[in-house]
Chains A and B, each alone.
Chain A
Amino acid sequence: MPEPLVKVRDLKMHFPIHAGILRRKVGAVKAVDGVSFDIFEGETLGLVGESGCGKSTVGRALLRLYEPTSGSVVIGGEDIATLAPDALRKKRPTMQMVFQDPQASLNPRMTVAAIIGEPLDEHTDWDEAKKTERVYELMDQVGLNRRFANRYPHEFSGGQRQRIGIARALALNPRFIVCDEPIAALDVSIQAQVVNLLEDLQDRLGLTYLFISHDLSMVRHIADRVAVMYLGQIAELSPRDALYAAPLHPYAQALLSAVPEADPAVEATRQRIILKGDVPSPANPPKGCNFCTRCPKVIPLCREEKPRLSEVQPGRFVACHLVAANQDTAGGHASPGPEVREHNQQGELS
C-alpha cells in the first residue's frame, strides 16, 4: 500500500474558555478531539457532519491555520503541526484552501488579477510578465474570462467568485487542497458547475482533496471515501459506496436517513430515524460515547466507555461499541486507509 499524502493522527483542537475578571481558563471547547485519518494521493476524502461537529476546524488545523492542541498532521512526509515558521512558509505552496464564502474570502479592494496573483508575489521571484501570464493561465483553467482580470470581486456572481477563490488556491501548483464547504453558499444550478470544475482540475492536475460539506448527496458524488464526524470525533470512515449502501454507525445511519430525496415515491415510503434533542455542547461532551445522549440504540456501556475508531470491516472504520462488539479488534489500530487503492475516482469519471 502506498504511503498516504496526508496522515492525521489523534488531532486535537481545543479552544480555551476564559471567564471572570482575571480571564482565567475555566474549560475548553473540544472542537476536534482525537481525529485520525489518511488521505491518499489523488483521492477525495469527504468530511461530513452537522454544524458545530468540528469538520471545518479539522480542515483549518490540517493547514495549520489554527495551532493544533496536540496530534500530528503529516503532509508529504513533514509534520505540519510542529513545523518551524520558516519551514511552514516554504511548505504552504503545496497545501491550499478554498473557503466557503467567496464574498468574505476575497478582498473587495483588490482586482481579480491581484487576488489570484498574490500567492505568486509571496512565494515566487517571477517578473511581472511571467506572473501575468500565470494569472491568465489560471483564469482559463477555472473558466473565467481573461478580460475580467482587472475587475473587482463585487462585479462577479457567487459562482464566479468561487472560481476566483479556486484559481487563487491553484496558483502555486498545490498537491493538496482543503475545500471547506465550497458550494454551500451557491445556488443549486451553480453548485454543479463548481463541483464539475473541481473534478476536472483533479483529473488534470492530480490534486488531492479534503472536501468538507454538510451536503451528503454532493459528497456521494465527489468523494471516494467519506468520514462522518460528530461532536469533534469521527463516527465512521468508510469507502463511499459502502457507507451510502449500509452505514454502520448509528449516527451515520440517522444522518443519511434524514437527507430528503428528490423523489416523491421514495419519500412516501421512507423510514426516517428521527433523532431526539440537539447536539451536546463540545465544551462539555457526555461521558463515554459522545453520541450516547441521542443514540437510538444506546446500551449502558456507551455511557461508561468511549468507543475507539477501529476497523470493523476491511477499509471501514467505526467508533461504536455495538458495531465493534461483533468484531475481533485485537489487531490494534490499523491505519484508516482505503480498502482498495485501485478503486479510485479517475476510473469512474470517464
Chain B
Amino acid sequence: MPDGASPVLDVRGLKTVFKTRGGEIHAVNSVSFHLRPGELLGVVGESGSGKSVTMMSLIGLLPSPPAEVRGGEVLLGGRDLLKLAPRDLQAVRGAKVGFVFQDPMTSLNPVFTVGNQIMEPLMKHMGMTKAQATNRAAELLDLVGIPDARKRLKSYPHQFSGGMRQRVMIAIALACDPDVLIADEPTTALDVTIQAQIIELVKDLRQKLGMAIVWITHDLGVIAGIADRVMVMYGGQVVEQAPVKELFANPRHPYTRALLKTVPALTGARAARLEVIQGQPPILQGEPVACPFRARCAHALPRCEAENPARRAIDGLPVGHGHDVACHWSPEAAHA
C-alpha cells in the first residue's frame, strides 16, 4: 500500500444523531478516517459502537428521520457525498460504492431471480443492454465462485445456501466495478468453514480487482487475517487506529487491550480465567463531554470525566496515517 497515494475515500468529522422521543442519541461522533487505493480497512467494535451507522451515513442509507447526519465531509473522487442531491447519491451507490450486508437472506429480494438482481445495477448505472448485462452477470457469478453460473442466474435466493447467497451479494456489490466496497459483518451470519471460504474469496478478488475495502466486524480473528489497517470504535468514536500488526502487537487504548484479552485463544496457553470488561456499553445520550469508555476503564483518570480525549498520534505520523489513540492514559506513564 503506497503511503503517499491520495485516498479514494476521505471521511472527516462525521457526526450522526438519532432523534428519539427520549432525546438525541449521538451514534457517531466526529469520526474521521480515510481509505487508500487497494487497502483493506478493518473496523472493529461491538454492537452500538457506531461502526455500521458510520458506514451507512456515508452513502445516505439511514432513514431520516430519525437519523440526521449533522456534520462532516465524505470525499469520494473529489466530491462531498453529504452535499449531493438524493438522485446523484443514488448514482454513487451501486456504481462507485458497493455494499455487502450481514444477512444475505434479508438483503436479497426473494421474488426476483439472482440474475435479475445482478443485472439491475448493470443496466441502471452502466447503461448495458439486457444481453450485455446477462453476460456480465454470468461472469460475475463465475468470479465469485458459483459453479454453473449461467444456469444459476435463473435461480431465486432461497435456492442458494447462506454462503452462496453471500457470494451473490458480493457479485452485486462488485457489478459496477466500484472504487470502494463496504462489507458490514459479511461473514457473521455464516458458519466458520463457510466464513473461511468467503474470506479466501475476498482475498482473491482483492488481488484480481484491487478495490479498496472497508470490512466491519466484531471478530478480532477475522480482522487479524485480512486487514491492512484497523480502526477500533467504541461509543460512536474512533478510539484507536493502527496498521494491523502494530495494533495487535502494541495496543494502546484500554478498550483495545481489554478486548484482545477477553477473547480466548485457540492455540497456546489456556487462561484459567477469562479477562472481563466490567459493565455495559454506554448509552450515547447527549453531546459527548467525557470519554465514553471511562465507566468500564481499568485506568480511568479524573481527567477522563472532564474531557473527551482527542485522537493523538503516538508514532509521530499524522493522525490517521500511523498509530493513533484517543485516550488520556498512556502505558508508559503507568509504569514510570
Contacts and interface: CB of A to CB of B under 8 A. Distances in A.
Contacts of A260: 195-196, 199, 219, 221-222, 224-225
Interface string A314-350: 0000000000000000000000000000000000111
A133 interface: no
A291 to B, nearest CB: 11
A272 B199 CA distance: 11
Interface stretch (B1-9, B81-89, B114-122, B272-280): B272-280
Residue of B163, B277, B280 most packed against chain A (CB within 10 A): B280
B289 interface: no
Interface in B151-180: 161, 163-164
Contact of A350 (B221, B259, B272, B274): B272
A172 to B, nearest CB: 28
Nearest to A50: B191
Given A255-B192, A259-B221, A263-B224, A188 B262 contact: yes
B301 interface: no
A65 interface: no
A192 B277 contact: yes
A260 B163 CA distance: 17
A258 B192 contact: yes
A216 B195 CA distance: 14
Interface in A92-139: none
A217 B263 CA distance: 8
A217 B262 CA distance: 11
A159 interface: yes
A88 B316 CA distance: 69
B224 A262 contact: yes
Contacts of B59: none
A317 to B, nearest CB: 22
Interface in A41-55: 50-51
Given A278-B163, A349-B272, A50 B262 contact: no
A37 to B, nearest CB: 22
Given A187-B281, A267-B225, A274-B197, A244 B273 contact: no
Interface of A: 50-51, 157, 159, 187-193, 195-196, 199, 214, 216-218, 220-221, 241, 244, 254-268, 270, 272, 274-275, 278, 348-350
